Amino acid sequence: MQLLTILTSIALIGTLCGASGTAQAAASTPGTADTVFLEMNQAYKNGQSKRLSELLPQTRGHLLEPWAAYWELRARLETASPQEITAFLKRYQGTYQEDRLRNDWLLLLGQNRDWNTFMVEHPSYRMGDDRSVRCYALLADFNGRQQEVAAQIETLWLAQPNADDACAAAADQQLKAGKLKAHSAWVRARLGMENDRQRVATQALGLLNADWADTASAIYAKPEQFLAGRVLALRPRTKELVTLALIRLAVVNPEAAAIEVDKLRWKTQLTQEERSWVWGVIGKRSALRLSSGALAYFMNGQDQFMHDDHLAWKARAALRAGNWEQVASATAAMSESQGKDSTWVYWRARALMAAGKTEADRAEATRLLQDIAGVRGFYELLAQEELGLPIILPTNPEPLTASEKNAARTNPGLQRALAAIELGLRSEGVREWNYTTNLHQNGGMADRELLAAADLACQHEVWDRCINTSERTRSLVDLTQRFPMPHKQAVLARTRDIGLDPAYVYGLIRQESRFVTDARSGVGASGLMQVMPATASWTAKKIGMTDFKAYQITESKTNIAIGTGYLKLVLDDFAGSMPMAAAAYNAGPGRPRAWRGQSGAPVMEAAAWAENIPFNETRDYVKKVLANTTIYAAMISGKTQSLKARLGMIGPRNDAAPLNRDIP
């Protein structure tokens, strides 16, 4: 705990001046204080308010005192007096903990409809990223606003993934005032049905008619029964309920929904907008199954009536089918924000190149590629190559000055974050680090401030904050921060011994763990290469590590040996395909075998294959691992690289090739 001891000492002699601005004597030695903080953190997780209050006095004057005070007050926030809360906010003014507690308090004030206190406190809230708080603010100040807020509330409500009190109450207020149209509530209900969120759908319909909440539940449970025998009905409300039932049926059984929505009674009774949304859900669900008929389903509807998620999956289905005209159509219909994503900028450019019939189309394609080309990500690298430009690493910025480094080193928020991470409170430390780098001087840190913060994290080997902070620079790019190479000797020696590309291993570790040696996933994967216990035992036997013990998987050298051994076995099984091996490493080898298609399936470029991976996490993972690999290869070799060459083509497996179904 050397870092924590040093930082605590700094705090005690007054360099930091404490969160409240006055240095106080420590009540305990650093080692004892560590134990107190860890016990308080566990007590907070267990809801032991009394124990938190007992331990709090022992943390006075400690660098991490704001965390202890936050846990203690947050655990009893519902019964705390306003005076206690305002005293806390004053004592820890300017800290993450102050703003975090104000966020919590604003939510409580909103739930209790204490609008007077809410409106006094809300202007001091700096985070501004909690949708529920934003909805409460719009709800609280409805009568005081001259401008229309319905559009803001609609945007927040539709984007809220779960049913909450704040945005639903704000929407209800706007519906009753006639500022928000009923169609918004129907759209919210559609999203609930489509995304397996029953409570979202029932809450939305309940705002329109209290009796419809039960109807929504019945539709969600058995959509086919609701549709059975339903007579032709001209009433808009009945049509909307039918639309919800068709959407829900599409989620459960897209083929049955396709037959149902194509019946004459729905063709004549439902609007083109209603039917197009249903076809969008059918197409998306079919595309997630990699069905060859997915694109045809999409084409029964009209793009302008589908939402962005439908259009994204239509574009993917069109890529899989090699239909560039439909890729162009889907990307053209996307919202402005989604259309600017590098994924769809790239594929729209490719579609215009392939299907464009005019010089203007080709010129537009070139412009789109130029807009995103660079080394910042997967599609940026592909755009660079598509333009015929070599992938050359940018020159690093001018070295940081002593004053720039010192500003980061003495930043109280960064100091607390590093101390929390050192103590094992990684979640708390990461949140405070992100807050400090995001909100500094109200506009976020400038590029060189971010580089200095990243450098501080690198020096302390907090590699995830080093990478993520450096990645947020806008114009300056320091690839030595973004793509560090810890454990270099072990990685290079191991990959040389087994014939594995070290850049590929680094690309994978960077995505798996950000080089956090004690990283542990929610499903039990451990260490730098995030190896599952069963996989570790199996691989250890395969590579001749006869004395392997389960606890050793957290040791970096052992983790690298087993992780690279497994990766080599998977890569060989997929005939050297880096995209497929990466997918197998993340999702297991059985899934990419199915995703590549059976005999007769089309051969496609691996970028299109990767974009069609039905798991969001694995799709993102494969693209990032391959982009990382390309950058690391350039750094290691000093030579220009090709992402396209690493991607290659993907098609059905050669039936004559050996298949190792033993790989877990």
DSSP assignments along 291-342, one per residue: -TTHHHHHTTS-GGGS-HHHHHHHHHHHHHHT-HHHHHHHHHHS-HHHHTSH
| H helices present in 209-289, as ranges | 212-221, 223-227, 236-252, 254-261, 264-269, 272-288
Q: Is the dihedral of CA 64, 66, 72, 75 positive or negative?
A: negative
3-state secondary structure labels for all residues of 478-508: CHHHHCCCCCHHHHHHHHHHHCCCHHHHHHH
With a cut of 70, which residues of the chain have pLDDT below it? 1-31, 143-147, 229-236, 440-443, 598-600, 656
Amino acid 6: pLDDT: 44
The H or E element that residue 353 is part of is helix 342-355
């302008």: which residue's tokens?
A: 304
Three-state DSSP at 650 gives strand
C-alpha distances out from residue 458 to 5, 377, 468, 645, Å = 19, 21, 11, 32
> Which helix or strand (DSSP H or E) is residue 649 part of?
strand 649-650
Asked whether 341 and 310 are in contact (CB, 8 A), the reply is: no
Instruction: Look up residue 391 and give its DSSP letter.
Output: B
Report pLDDT for 19. 43
* Tokens standing for residue 7: 């930082």
- Indicate if the alpha-carbon torsion angle 352, 356, 362, 367 is positive or negative: negative
What burial class does residue 267 get, using C-beta atoms within 10 Å of its C-beta: 0-12 exposed, 13-18 middle, 19+ buried? exposed
pLDDT at 1: 44
Residue type, 169: A
Do the Cβ atoms of 610 and 622 come closer than 8 Å?
yes
Per-residue confidence (pLDDT) for residue 654, from 0 to 100 = 76
Strand partners, 247: none
Cα 20 from Cα 69, distance rounded (Å)? 12
DSSP class of 105: H
**Residues labelled catalytic:** 512
Check residue 230 and give its pLDDT: 64
Alpha carbon distances (Å) from 358 to 246, 354, 366, 383: 40, 11, 13, 21
Q: How far is CA 254 from the centre of its chain?
A: 28
Residue the block writes with tokens 């990699």: 290
Specify whether the CB–CB gap between 64 and 412 falls below 8 A.
no
For 61, the enclosing helix (H) or strand (E) is none
DSSP class of 124: G
| Contacts for 149 with CB less than 8 Å, ≥ 6 apart | 138, 142, 174, 179
Q: Work out the burial of residue 108: count CB atoms within 10 Å of its CB; fewer than 13 is exposed, 13-18 middle, 19 or more buried.
A: middle
Rg (CA), the chain: 28
Backbone angles phi, psi at 395, to 5 degrees: -70, 140
Q: Please, are residues 217 and 202 in contact by the beta-carbon 8 Å criterion?
A: yes
Residue of 291, 300, 333, 340 lying closest to 315 (CA atoms): 333
Please choose, from the candidates 316, 599, 459, 380, the residue with its C-alpha nearest in 3D space to the C-alpha of residue 3: 459
22: buried, middle or exposed (CB in 10 Å: 19+, 13-18, 0-12)?
A: exposed
Which among 200, 211, 198, 156 is positioned nearest to 180, based on CA atoms?
A: 156
| Lookup: tokens for 80 | 């705390």
Assess contact for 68 and 40: CB atoms under 8 A.
yes
Nearest to 71 by CA among 104, 109, 115, 93: 104
Calculate the average pLDDT of the chain. Answer: 92
Q: Which residue has the tokens 């997780």?
A: 45
- CA nearest 111: which of 78, 82, 142, 144? 78
| Secondary structure in 3-state letters for 197-219 | CHHHHHHHHHHHCCCHHHHHHHH
User: In this predicted structure, what is the pLDDT of residue 440?
Assistant: 54
d(CA 376, CA 380): 6
Return the closest-CA partner of residue 219 out of 187, 249, 251, 175.
Answer: 249
- Give buried/exposed letters for 344-358 (b at 16+ CB in 10 A, else e): bbbbbbbbbbeebee
